[in-house]
């Protein structure tokens, strides 16, 4: 698996999504509950940026229609979204946050 550095861990605020670009793919990086997650930054229902939404209980909410996606699995919690959003493996090395797009979950 190939990992790419996307940001510094110290740049992340708890429960505040950070949008990054990984080889042309928009990804939202989220630090919550002591863990860091990477999820594709596009809502599967409305094609808008998830990083503009709020994070609570390991879920990121789409600001447009309110669908929430589990940061661990990408699965929506309810309508209007019905399809999951890809999530990506994350590694922390020192202060570096690395993400791999080669294996979507």
Q: What is the mean pLDDT of each run of 10 residues along the chain (105 residues)?
A: 94 97 95 97 92 96 92 93 95 97 67
At residue 78, the pLDDT reads: 84
Q: Cα dihedral sign for 71, 30, 16, 48?
A: negative
At residue 104, the pLDDT reads: 55
At residue 103, the pLDDT reads: 59
* Contact predicate 38/100, CB 8 Å: no
pTM of the model: 0.93
At residue 62, the pLDDT reads: 93
C-alpha of 85 from chain center = 9
């Amino acid at each position: 698996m190939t990992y790419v550095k996307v940001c510094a861990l110290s740049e992340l605020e708890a429960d505040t999504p950070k949008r990054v670009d990984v080889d042309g793919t928009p990804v939202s990086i989220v630090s919550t509950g002591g863990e860091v997650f990477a999820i594709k930054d596009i809502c599967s229902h409305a094609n808008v940026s998830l990083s503009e939404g709020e994070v609570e209980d390991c879920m990121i909410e789409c600001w447009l229609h309110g669908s929430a996606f589990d940061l661990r699995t990408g699965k929506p919690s309810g309508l209007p979204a019905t399809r999951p959003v890809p999530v990506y493996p994350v590694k922390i090395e020192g202060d570096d946050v690395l993400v791999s797009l080669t294996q979507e979950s």
